[in-house]
């Protein structure tokens, strides 16, 4: 059971905007620790999508954006495309756990 909670699924039509929340607590996101996001296409390894709350690695389209506020973070996908159908995970640090890095529960994005 993860300390970072995400909705199991979100969906949208092509061209729409969808958002994925990552809800934590005062020992992780709320303590100011950065949130990072990964995209996992079906049958493939995860890929870094957003780091440091809102930064995109080279090659990631600007349709993907991240933000953080209080004890939560969000990933937004604007202009949803068929190839965005994937699982998305947030990741951060939790000071209450002996293991330093934690992932969110994961969200399946479906393009209708």
Partner 1 sequence: EVQLVESGGGLVKPGGSLRLSCAASGFTFSSYSMNWVRQAPGKGLEWVSSISSSSSYIYYADSVKGRFTISRDNAKNSLYLQMNSLRAEDTAVYYCARDPPRGYYDILTYFDYWGQGTLVTVSS
Given 45, 62, 82, 83, the residue binding partner 1 (CB under 8 A): 45
Q: Which of 2, 5, 19, 25 binds partner 1 (CB under 8 A)?
A: 2
Question: With contacts defined by CB under 8 A, how many residues of the chain interact with partner 1?
Answer: 27
Dist CA 112 CA 107 (whole Å): 15
Burial class of 75 by CB neighbour count within 10 A (0 to 12, 13 to 18, 19+): buried
How many CA atoms, within 13 angstroms, populate the side-chain half-sphere of residue 52?
A: 3
110 binds partner 1 (CB under 8 A): no
Minimum CB separation from partner 1 for residue 36, in Å?
Answer: 4
Report the residue from 21, 27, 46, 64 that binds partner 1 according to the rule CB under 8 A.
Answer: 46
């Amino acid at each position: 059971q993860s300390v970072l909670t995400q909705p199991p699924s979100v969906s949208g039509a092509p061209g729409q905007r969808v958002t994925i929340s990552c809800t934590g607590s005062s020992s992780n996101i709320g303590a100011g620790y950065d949130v990072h996001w990964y995209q996992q296409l079906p049958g493939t390894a995860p890929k870094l999508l957003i780091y440091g709350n809102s930064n995109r690695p080279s090659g990631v389209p600007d349709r993907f954006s991240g933000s953080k506020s209080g004890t939560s973070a969000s990933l937004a996908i604007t202009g949803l495309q068929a190839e965005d159908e994937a699982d998305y995970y947030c990741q951060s640090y939790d000071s209450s756990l002996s293991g330093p890095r934690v992932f969110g529960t994961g969200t399946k994005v479906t393009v209708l």
